Amino acid sequence: MLFWLGAAAFALTILISVSLHELGHMITGKRFGMKVTQYFVGFGPTIFSFRRGETEYGLKAIPLGGFCKIVGMTPQDDDVAPEDQPRAMWRFPVWKRTIVMSAGSITHFALAIGGIYVMALVFGLPNPAYPTTDPELRALPAKIRVSECVSLTLAEGDCKPGVSGVPGPAQSARLQQGDVITKVGTTPVANYGQLVDAIRAQQAGPVDFGYERGGQAGTTTVTLVQAERPADDGSVVKTAMAGVGADLSDTPVYVKYGPVAAFSATGDQTVAMFKATGEAIKKVPQKLPALWHSITGGERDPNTPISVVGASRLGGEAVEHGAWDLFWQIFIGLNVFIGVFNLLPLLPLDGGHIAIAWYERVRSWLYQRLRKPDPGRVDYYKLMPLTYAVILIGGAFTLLTVTADIINPITIFK
């Protein structure tokens, strides 16, 4: 029950976000004097509506978005009454049209930034000092955590001593979490990267380890085992292992901030999320084969794109397990993604309209400098084949992600 309530709650937050997106268009359009004739939440048959001034407001039956009708978005719109011509959107200065068309994405960004600030106060934000890349991890001190079990093959899965693995060599040698390794065999060790390299350079069998514990130096003999591990190229190699990892107990994954410090942390996290979103959008095409593979029976790659259905499922999982911080993170990430994606310079996205407006402005400026007649407005009808292609590709992509999220969804809690 909690899962379905959480999924419904997340779907509702998406609907509210999209409705606020359209509200951003409406408010800025009205402020500049453009005529807004309709603002509806949902699509399809109208459930109810009312009119205030020149705008009709209402709710439609299919809760999959919303729309805001601004008169004369393009010069080719043929439903503009003669008395409304002076207020047609395309007649307004390009900077005003840019603000109106980008207001939807700005609304998503505002929701995301506000959400990040709340997370900084309530749940905490990712610790910038926490290592997330291999170079960062290798640069850490050689302070270790010890494993009670080591799997000898990658196929063994969960490691249980004597069942699916062997007792951890470092633990058996009475090394403890927090020990700092100073030497492996005859090789001095200064950081975690050197520790890993030194262990892998050994043969399986007894090897002397030098360490420090509480300021006191010590030595012990660790009987290394040979085990499989994944190589950087995706292959499987066998190497000596001691059953140790980097001790990150003193480096929290998340850090909470006070009301003032949260502003700076929110700014840093916002920049990081925009960069990550840009990278994710660039990688979408190369993820499509894996997405198709998941539909045809393969394992679902957790890094493949998801739809609103998939996001709602993840939100439901988060609520079911009491992980409200995760629910909040998904909401923030989705708003950043929608905001950035909507600004791509492709029709019928808002970014496409903005790109055309500035193209017209720059072209007119160049023609003026060249003392040539103004070429006028872009003919949107000539762009219709490209627009239909974008709609077709977008529709196919949506169908693909929705199907994958129904047949083989991504799950967080297993």
**Residues noted as catalytic:** 22
Q: What does R_g of the chain's alpha carbons equal in angstroms?
A: 29
DSSP, collapsed to helix, strand or coil, labels residue 123 as coil
Cis previous bond, 82, omega within 30: no
Mind spelling out the 3-state secondary structure of 44-83? EEEEEEEEECCEEEEEEEEEEEEEEEECCCCCCCCCCCHH
- Taking the C-alpha atoms of residue 27 and residue 24, their distance in angstroms, rounded to an integer, is 5
Let me know: does 112 contact 336? Beta carbons within 8 Å. Answer: yes
Residue pair 320/2 in contact (Cβ under 8 Å)? The answer is yes
Integer angstrom CA distances of residue 91 from 27, 48, 169, 381: 18, 32, 75, 18
Q: Which of 175, 179, 184, 170 is nearest to 216 (CA)?
A: 179
Pull the structure tokens for residue 216.
């006191």
Inter-helix orientation angle 324-342/2-31, to 10°: 40
Helix, strand, coil % in the chain, rounded to nearest 5: 50, 20, 30
Amino acid code (one letter) for 232: D
d(CA 340, CA 334): 10
**Where do the H-state alpha helices sit in 168-260?**
169-172, 192-200
Residues 6+ apart with CB under 8 A from 321: 413
